[in-house]
């Protein structure tokens, strides 16, 4: 067994500063899985800030990951605008899901407003408590800031949103504008409360080219993402972590135009080659792209082989590279499979 | 009076344009011209949807475009389908399918597209919706004597429901072919778990379904 020369904290700090590293870091976005390995219901990773943070820190230590600890999920937004959400307590559920979208009609959409008491709506209280705990522990304080189009699916329902994109584009722009205002209002509070220099803003974005055309991405996703990234960068937020979920190769030219503060961290799925991500984001850390389905359904040997391939492709990236799954670690992934990732970094990721 | 070729072209074009009003008008014209409604469906509406499916597979159109096309398709079907008499005019009756997004999964865009493609391919489809209790699939398949069961899952947690229940479905529904689909799934998992078929997208799912039922 090869020994590490840096602690996880030192490796994270070096990655963020762009300093040299002893080996490829291993970062993971995992919430539900951390609850499972702590013997808690998956829902606790989402609806209970203290338990979520504790589970994530325990799992990080168990596996030897160098990060990430954060609270959020892709299908956010609906609950904050008055929708009904179900947390994953039932069998086979793995993440919060919308039971009723707040927007059911065009009239609902036109009437959509940023909630006055925005700190008390939906899951904002849990997110805020999570950030307070991160701050007390001296950790990076995370805040989910996107993407507005992904959130619009949660607010309106995906099918309704898609039909409106074709038939009522002005209505979709109205909804996206309100969601963007909400995200910026929330971010402004986070900046004021914790300080911009302490924040790591993150996007979870599912606008894949299996769903949307690059033109639709350019029209309905990109302008709002740019507004958020520009405003937060101007406010002094230094770190952005953006998960570009799924098949988004045709969207990369737009993603690469966004501002990512002093340190952008780009996570890609198995559908986007790390070499393509490297070319699109030469100055950002890139992360990925081990197939999470293999991490759940494959053997430890399968996982190790995928990690090796990712590390060999990613470690030459000049902006820095971290091994990660191509999406959230599946909640029910066998721990022995998840446990292959740090040893892979030690064996194949030496600098 | 419009000739049949023109009406078929208008039905097909209305679907491709996602134009519900044009689909309704063309369907009414088909009725007025005394066309065989099943032919108007298959060679007009379904042909337009098949072309949209081809464009999707080639990356020339995307799901929002398919959505508006499906609305036009259903507008035309609402007029023509009640006129189809199964025993006459050579109506296509390829079998009965049950479909749904499995327990714990509320993602149903793909499932709805598969349902539409199965319907235009000549299957009677019973849609159980989303977040469907696994036992409900068995009950419905028995009730309607399903030839085909289509299970959709978009999450790593919900594909486990499919893996867990496939042996149960196979045991309790011996005469029913079982297909699976959804982003985390693939042919390898379908084979490993004992599913009869897998479709990477709605268009392929319809092709596989027809092959299974005719095989």
Give the separation between CA A309 and CA A140, rounded to whole angstroms.
30
- Beta strands at A285-290 and A263-268: parallel, antiparallel or unpaired: parallel
Q: Which of A92, A216, A297 sits opposite B103 (nearest CB)?
A: A92
Q: Does B9 score more than 60 pLDDT?
A: yes
Residue B183 has which token pair? 């982003």
Instruction: Please report which helix (H) or strand (E) contains residue A263, including its range.
Output: strand A263-268
User: How many CB pairs (< 8 A) connect A and B?
Assistant: 84
Strand segments, DSSP code E, in chain B are 95-101, 123-127, 148-152, 177-181, 197-198
pLDDT (average), residues B15-35: 96
Question: What homologous superfamily is domain B95-214 in, according to CATH?
Answer: Cobalamin-binding domain (3.40.50.280)
Query: Residue B10: what pLDDT?
Result: 98
Q: What would you report as the CA-atom Rg of chain A, rounded to the nearest whole angstrom?
A: 19
Question: pLDDT averaged over chain A?
Answer: 96
- B2 pLDDT band, cuts 50/70/90, is confident
Q: Indicate the length of chain A as a whole number.
A: 351
Query: Residue B215: what pLDDT?
Result: 78
ipTM over 0.90 threshold: yes
Give the separation between CA A293 and CA A9, rounded to whole angstroms.
29
For residue B113, give the chain A residue with the closest CA: A159
**Biggest CA pair distance of chain B:** 58
List chain A domain ranges: 8-348
Give the separation between CA A279 and CA A243, rounded to whole angstroms.
17
CB atoms within 10 A of CB A111: 10
Q: Which of B68, B104, B105 sits opposite A166 (nearest CB)?
A: B68
Q: Does B86 score more than 70 pLDDT?
A: no
Q: Which of A42, A167, A213 sits opposite B62 (nearest CB)?
A: A213
Return the SS3 of B181: strand
B150-207 pLDDT per residue, tens: 999 999 999 999 999 999 999 999 999 999 999 999 999 999 999 999 999 998 999 9
- Check B158 against A91: CB less than 8 A apart: no
Q: Give the fold, CATH level 3, of B4-83.
A: 1.10.1240
- Check A159 against B18: CB less than 8 A apart: no
% pLDDT > 90, chain A: 98
Give the separation between CA B160 and CA A297, rounded to whole angstroms.
9
What residues in A contact B157, CB-CB < 8 Å?
A: 32, 42, 88, 92-95, 330-332
Query: Residue B85: what pLDDT?
Result: 63
Instruction: Please report which helix (H) or strand (E) contains residue A124, including its range.
Output: helix A124-136
Q: Is A149 on the interface with B (CB under 8 A)?
A: no
For residue B130, give the chain A residue with the closest CA: A99
Q: Is A293 on the interface with B (CB under 8 A)?
A: yes
Long-range contacts, stretch A149-152, CB < 8 angstroms, 24+ apart: A149/A176, A149/A205, A149/A207, A149/A212, A149/A217, A149/A220, A149/A221, A149/A224, A150/A74, A150/A75, A150/A76, A150/A77, A150/A204, A150/A205, A150/A206, A150/A207, A151/A76, A151/A77, A151/A78, A151/A179, A151/A183, A152/A77, A152/A176, A152/A179
pLDDT (average), residues A262-280: 97
A53-110 pLDDT per residue, tens: 999 999 999 999 998 999 999 889 999 999 999 999 999 999 999 999 999 999 999 9
Q: Residues A149, A221: contact at Cβ < 8 Å?
A: yes
Instruction: Please report which helix (H) or strand (E) contains residue A202, including its range.
Output: strand A199-205
pLDDT (average), residues A279-293: 97
CA A87 from chain centre, in angstroms, equals 18
List chain B domain ranges: 4-83, 95-214
Strand segments, DSSP code E, in B1-160 are 95-101, 123-127, 148-152
Q: Does B87 score more than 70 pLDDT?
A: no
A195-210 pLDDT per residue, tens: 999 999 999 999 999 9
- Percentages (nearest 5) of helix, strand, coil residues in chain A: 50, 15, 35
Give the separation between CA A2 and CA A285, rounded to whole angstroms.
24
CB atoms within 10 A of CB A63: 21
- Check B158 against A211: CB less than 8 A apart: no
First to last CA, chain B: 42
Give the separation between CA B63 and CA A161, rounded to whole angstroms.
11
pLDDT (average), residues A8-22: 95
Give the separation between CA B33 and CA B155, rounded to whole angstroms.
48
Q: Is B59 on the interface with A (CB under 8 A)?
A: yes
Q: Is A97 on the interface with B (CB under 8 A)?
A: yes
| Residue of A32, A74, A92 to mutate, testing the B interface (most B Cβ within 10 Å of its Cβ) | A92
- Check A91 against B59: CB less than 8 A apart: no
- Check A94 against B183: CB less than 8 A apart: no
Which are the contacts of A65, defined by CB distance < 8 A and separation ≥ 6?
A8, A26, A27, A28, A59, A341, A342
A210-258 pLDDT per residue, tens: 999 999 999 999 999 999 999 999 999 999 999 999 999 999 999 999 9
Q: Does B120 score more than 90 pLDDT?
A: no
What residues in B contact A216, CB-CB < 8 Å?
A: 62, 64
| Residue of B21, B57, B62 to mutate, testing the A interface (most A Cβ within 10 Å of its Cβ) | B62
| Residue of A29, A46, A93 to mutate, testing the B interface (most B Cβ within 10 Å of its Cβ) | A93
- Which 8-state DSSP code applies to residue B104? T
Q: Does B89 score more than 60 pLDDT?
A: no
What is the CATH code of the structural domain delimited by A8-348?
3.20.20.210
Residue A99 has which token pair? 């039971």
- B92 pLDDT band, cuts 50/70/90, is low
Using the structure block, give the residue that is written with the tokens 């039971």: A99
Q: What letters, b where the CB count within 10 A reaches 16 and e where it falls short, cover A333-349? A: bbeebbbbbbbbbbebb
Give the separation between CA A66 and CA A208, rounded to whole angstroms.
28
Return the SS3 of B187: helix
Within 31-50 of A, beta carbons closer than 8 Å to B belong to 32, 42
Query: Residue A35: what pLDDT?
Result: 98
């Amino acid at each position: 067994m090869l020994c590490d020369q840096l602690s996880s904290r030192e490796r994270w700090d070096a990655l963020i500063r762009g300093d040299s590293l002893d080996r490829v870091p291993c970062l993971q976005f995992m919430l539900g899985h951390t609850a499972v390995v702590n013997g808690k219901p998956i829902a606790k990773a989402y609806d209970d800030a203290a338990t979520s943070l504790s589970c994530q820190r325990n799992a990080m230590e168990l596996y030897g990951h160098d990060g990430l600890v954060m609270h959020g999920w892709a299908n956010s937004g609906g609950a904050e605008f008055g929708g009904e959400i179900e947390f994953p307590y039932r069998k086979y559920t793995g993440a919060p899901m919308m039971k009723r979208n707040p927007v059911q009609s065009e009239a609902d959409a036109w009437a959509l407003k940023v909630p006055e008491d925005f700190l008390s709506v939906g899951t904002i209280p849990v997110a805020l408590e999570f950030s307070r705990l991160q701050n007390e522990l001296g950790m990076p304080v995370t805040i989910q800031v996107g993407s507005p189009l992904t959130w619009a699916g949660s607010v309106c329902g995906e099918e309704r949103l898609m039909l409106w994109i074709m038939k009522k584009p002005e209505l979709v722009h109205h909804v996206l504008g309100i969601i963007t205002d909400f995200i910026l209002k929330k971010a402004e509070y986070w900046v004021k409360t914790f300080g911009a220099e302490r924040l790591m803003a993150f996007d979870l974005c599912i606008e894949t080219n299996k769903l949307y055309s690059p033109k639709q991405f350019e029209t309905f996703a990109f302008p709002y993402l740019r507004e958020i990234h520009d405003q937060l960068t101007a406010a002094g937020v230094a770190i952005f972590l953006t998960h570009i979920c799924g098949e988004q190769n045709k969207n990369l030219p737009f993603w690469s135009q966004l501002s990512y503060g002093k340190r952008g961290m780009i996570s890609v799925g198995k559908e986007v080659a790390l070499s393509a991500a490297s070319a699109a984001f030469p100055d950002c850390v890139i992360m990925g792209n081990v197939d999470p389905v293999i991490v759940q359904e494959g053997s430890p040997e399968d996982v190790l082989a995928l990690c090796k391939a990712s590390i060999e492709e990613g470690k030459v990236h000049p902006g820095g590279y971290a091994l990660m799954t191509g999406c959230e670690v599946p909640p029910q992934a066998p721990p022995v499979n998840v446990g292959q990732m740090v040893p892979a970094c030690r064996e194949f990721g030496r600098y | 009076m419009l000739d049949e070729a023109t009406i078929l072209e208008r039905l097909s074009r209305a679907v491709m344009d996602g134009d519900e009003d044009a689909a309704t008008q063309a369907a009414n014209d088909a009725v007025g011209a005394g066309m065989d409604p099943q032919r108007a469906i298959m060679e007009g509406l379904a042909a337009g949807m098949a072309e949209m499916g081809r464009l999707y597979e080639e990356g020339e159109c995307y799901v929002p475009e398919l959505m508006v096309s499906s609305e036009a398709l259903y507008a035309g079907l609402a007029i023509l389908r009640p006129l189809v008499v199964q025993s006459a005019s050579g109506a296509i009756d390829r079998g009965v399918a049950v479909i749904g997004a499995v327990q714990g999964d509320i993602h149903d865009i793909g499932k709805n597209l598969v349902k539409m493609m199965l319907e235009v391919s000549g299957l009677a489809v019973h849609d159980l919706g989303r977040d469907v209790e696994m036992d409900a699939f068995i009950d419905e398949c028995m009730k309607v004597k399903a030839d085909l069961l289509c299970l959709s899952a978009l999450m790593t947690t919900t594909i486990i429901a499919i893996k867990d229940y496939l042996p149960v479905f196979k045991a309790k529904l011996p005469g029913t072919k079982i297909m699976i689909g959804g982003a985390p799934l693939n042919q390898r998992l379908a084979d490993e778990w004992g599913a009869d078929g897998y479709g990477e997208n709605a268009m392929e799912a319809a092709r596989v379904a027809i092959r299974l039922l005719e095989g």
